Structure 1
Amino acid sequence: MVDRATRERLRLLAHEQDGVVSRGQAARLGVDRWAIAHEVRSGRWAAHGLNSVALHTLALDPAAVRRVALWEAGDNAVLDGATSLVVAGLRNFDDGIHLLCPWPNGGRSWSGSRIHNSRLWNPEDFVVTQGIRRTRNDVATVRAAMYARSDRAAATVMAMAVQQGLASGDAVLLEARRLNRHRRRPLILAVATDIADGAQALGELDFARLCRVRRLPVPARQVVRRGARGRIYLDVYWDDYALVVEIEGAHHDSPGNAIDDSLRQNDLTIGHDKVLRIPVLGLRTMPDEFMAQVERALRAAGWSNAA
């Protein structure tokens, strides 16, 4: 049986931990496995996995599921990748539960969690947030890109982590350079560079190369036009076809830049130029789709291969 004072201490602990406690925590408060079994049989608590107990019988919320998955994975496990970033505050990105364990100790998967083993086990890469061990934000950003389901998702989570202020572009780039022997290393390095180093100019150079590959007409770059609010700087422009392409780095998503971009695009559209907008991360991960749109726009304006 669990006395009233111990039950209250457990309740306070569970309140700080999304409604769950580990069996080790319970034991340190004087609640052994027989007492836990009695509470579970009585319908007051619920056991989850081998090491975790909920002080209720409702479904676990996502935060509790992360805690239980961490406890079930073993003493050395840490939340990793996008899962770590979600604990740090990442919004609108879900990639399941990822955990990092030292090689070759493995770790137990629970509720679909994915265990990643690493020889590069560095305690300086880890932090504790709300009692949860997890990888540091810049480390987690790169590892989230490693684990992502597609190149597009990898680029997206890197950009989101920086845009939402969880890590600086420079810190992510530095961490990306540490990455070794991973199939996505070239993409991760390129995206980290785009985010940290003025992606605009780099995106324009890539765009010109893609035009040559598809045998499209050579555009002018960094053209200056005059609009209702003064000078307008165009990234890419075909004067003969009245077509503008704006190569947009991550900084374009900030509210101030989004307003300026809209005003500039409206000025150009009123002047009868067509405007296509291509995120530099889109140019990295879906070049064929975006360049096909550019080719269709040029053809609609009168260009043909023969010309």
Structure 2
Amino acid sequence: MEITRSTAARRRGHHLTAHELGEKQAGVVTRAQLSRAGLSPAAIAANITANRWRPLGVHSIVLHCGPLDERAKHWSAVLEAGPRAYVDGASSLVLGGLKHFDATPLRVTVPRGARVRHRGASVDIRQTRRWNEDDIDREDVPRSRTPVAAVRAALWARSDRQADLVLTMTVQQKLATPGEIAAALLAVRRDRRRTRIDSLLLDLAGGVGSLGELDVLRGCRERGLPEPDLQALRRTSARTYYLDFRWSWFRVCLEVDGIQHGWVQNAIADALRHNTIALEGDIVLRLPVLGLKACPDDFFAQVEQALVSRGWRAPTSYGVGTSYASRPMGPPAYDVRG
């Protein structure tokens, strides 16, 4: 009888140890961890057969049979990939708080030369020559630090546009500053997107807060228009406003309207702001994000017309109405007399 009680107590102790470990890892453990906790393969199999636990892959087991939350899925991916694996790229950003960005499949990084233990359809396990312990945040699920993750997410993005989006959203949601991301970029010596990322980080540091604003800034450069101030402070007799773009010397403003500007409460506030600024002498132009995609040249022609009406001179080799594609690149000319 004593032997039976002792065995039962030992088993309870083993299960308690397993669940304590599981609490730190969102309920997910490896077979090796369970073995070190004192559970035999037969005991593990018995718990699975009894529907108390269930396997998630070759190596990991969840200590319940309920649905998995995102944290548990990330733990499972790391534990399946190997002892030095960590969540990386856009998946790490989402784990760190990035919202409204699709980071599927889940990206996991292991050192170059490591034996990849198991690959699943929903997990992308890659080897990297840039593996560095200092890049890893091990506070919870092992993941790349946010600035490092942002750089890698941009390098691995399916398109340049997606690279712009993930970096802009990371800065916009205040997960990392442009300076922090730029510091992480120093570790990247060669990549076809490195120059593009450098340029984008300078724009983000200058105040760009969305892809629409980035498109406007690039559109001005491509068309030889003077670059505006970003997130410009405009004081009126009524109050102080922040404007998306303002050519302060010429008192021309451009507001980029996203979907949220069409909401009733925003439409009223935008109209009041527009009218107040216009009444005090500024030209205020509005550019819906849809317009940037559908007919950008038409809107940029209006921007140029407004600037010319306030004293800006296009280089004499071309004037207002000249096809943008035929214009040479070069610095704009300014004339602020009068």
What is aligned with 1:294?
Answer: 299
**Counterpart of 1:253?**
none
* Distance change (3 Å), C-alpha of 1:42 and 1:95: same
Q: For 1:19 and 1:112, how far apart are their aligned partners in 2?
A: 19
**SS of equivalent residue, structure 1 residue 3:** helix
Question: Counterpart of 1:114?
Answer: 124
- Give the counterpart letter for 1:145 in structure 2: A
Distance 1:68 1:167, change over 3 A: same
SS at 1:14's partner residue? helix
More displaced stretch, 7-16 vs 39-48: 7-16
Amino acid corresponding to residue 235 of structure 1 in structure 2: R
Inter-CA distance 51–186: structure 2 relative to 1 (3 Å threshold): same
TM-score (norm 1): 0.73
Partner of 2:336: none
Aligned with 1:208 (options 199, 207, 220): 220
Looking at CA atoms only, which structure, 1 or 2, has the larger radius of gyration? 2
Equivalent pair of 1:44/1:55 in contact (CA under 8 Å): yes
Flag the 1:236–1:207 CA change in 2: closer, same or farther, 3 A: farther
Hey, what's the Cα distance between the residues in 2 that align with 1:137 and 1:101? 17
Deviation at 1:118, TM superposition (A): 1.4
What secondary structure sits across from 1:265 in the alignment?
helix
**Cα-Cα RMSD:** 4.3
Question: What pairs up with 1:96-135 in 2 under 5 angstroms?
Answer: 96=104, 97-105=106-114, 107=116, 108-130=118-140, 132-135=141-144
Instruction: Identify the residue that residue 285 of structure 2 maps to in structure 1.
Output: 275
Contact 1:203 1:247 in 2 (8 A): no
Q: Which residue of 2 aligns with 1:49?
A: 57
Counterpart amino acid of residue 84 in structure 1:
S
- Deviation string 1:168-226 (CA, Å, 9 cap, x unpaired) is 221111222332332322222112222234559x98874433224xxxxx579569998
Amino acid aligned to 2:199: A
Compute the displacement of 1:270 (Å).
Answer: 6.6
Q: Is the 8 A contact 1:238 1:244 kept in 2?
A: no
Match of 1:142 among 151, 169, 181: 151
| TM-score normalised according to structure 2 size | 0.67
Q: Per-residue deviation at 1:151? A: 2.5
What residue is the counterpart of 1:6 in the other structure?
A: 14
Q: 1:305 aligns with which of 318, 321, 334?
A: 321
Name the residue aligned to 1:69: 77
1:255 maps to what in 2? none
Which residue does 1:188 correspond to in 2?
Answer: 197
1:68 deviates by: 0.7
Aligned counterparts, 1:153-232, within 5 A: 153-197=162-206, 206-212=218-224, 227-229=236-238
Name the counterpart of 1:235. Answer: 246
Check the 8 A contact 2:89/2:152 in 1, yes or no.
yes
Q: Which runs of 5+ in 2 are unaligned?
A: 1-7, 258-268, 307-318, 324-338
Q: Is the 8 A contact 1:83 1:95 kept in 2?
A: yes
SS at match of 1:129: coil
Distance of 1:220 and 1:86 partners within structure 2: 33
Q: For structure 1, which runs of at least 5 residues remain unmatched after alignment? A: 213-217, 249-259
C-alpha contact 2:255 2:284 (8 A) present in aligned 1? no
Q: Is contact 1:145–1:157 with CA below 8 Å preserved after alignment?
A: yes
Find the aligned partners of 2:51 and 2:143 in 1 and give their Cα distance: 33
Q: Identity of paired residues, percent?
A: 30
Q: Partners of 1:43 and 1:13 in 2: how far apart?
A: 19
Q: What are the Cα deviations for residues 17-52 of structure 1, in whole angstroms up to 9, with x where unaligned?
A: 222111122112111222111111122110111110
CA separation of 1:106 and 1:267: change in aligned 2, threshold 3 A: farther
Q: Is the 8 A contact 2:220 2:227 kept in 1?
A: no
**1:31 corresponding residue in structure 2:** 39
Say whether the 8 Å CA contact 2:150–2:170 is kept in structure 1: yes
Q: Deviations over 1:265-291 (max 9, x none)?
A: 343467895523589xx9xxx976673
Secondary structure of the residue aligned to 1:120 is coil
Distance 1:160 1:220 in 2: 23
> Equivalent residue of 2:100, what SS?
coil
The higher-RCO structure (CA 8 Å, 6+ apart) is 1
